[in-house]
Amino acid sequence: MARFLIFIAVCTAIYFLWAHIQKISKRPVSSEPKQDIEPMVKCNYCQVYTTKKSSIKGNDGQWYCCLTHEQQVGK
Ligand SMILES: [Zn+2]
């Protein structure tokens, strides 16, 4: 009977240990926010650096911070 109780206790301990490991593995590795490095491009008109995503590529292949500057150079 004592052996059976020890067996149950060991099983319970293994179960809680396994549940604990599952909980840890589901947690994100680092709590730091992701640092996405955006490529920067220089405006051909005002020389201001802006992210490539928010920039406009002109017909001349140059980058511009806004449509106005792209049109200014084109004139
Ligand atoms: Zn500009």
Residue 6 lies in a domain: no
pLDDT, residue 75, reads: 65
The alpha carbon of 55 and the centre of ligand 1 are apart by a number of angstroms equal to: 9
How does residue 12 score in pLDDT terms, banded at 50, 70 and 90?
A: confident
* pTM of the predicted protein model: 0.51
Residue 70 lies in a domain: yes
Residues near 70 by beta carbon (within 8 Å), at least 6 away in sequence: 45, 56, 58, 64
The alpha carbon of 42 and the centre of ligand 1 are apart by a number of angstroms equal to: 8
What single DSSP character describes residue 56?
E
Look at the chain and report how many structural domains it folds into: 1
What single DSSP character describes residue 58?
-
Residue 66 lies in a domain: yes
Residue 20 lies in a domain: no
Provide, rounded to the nearest whole percent, the portion of the chain with pLDDT above 70. Answer: 88
* Range of the structural domain that residue 44 is part of: 40-74
The alpha carbon of 46 and the centre of ligand 1 are apart by a number of angstroms equal to: 4
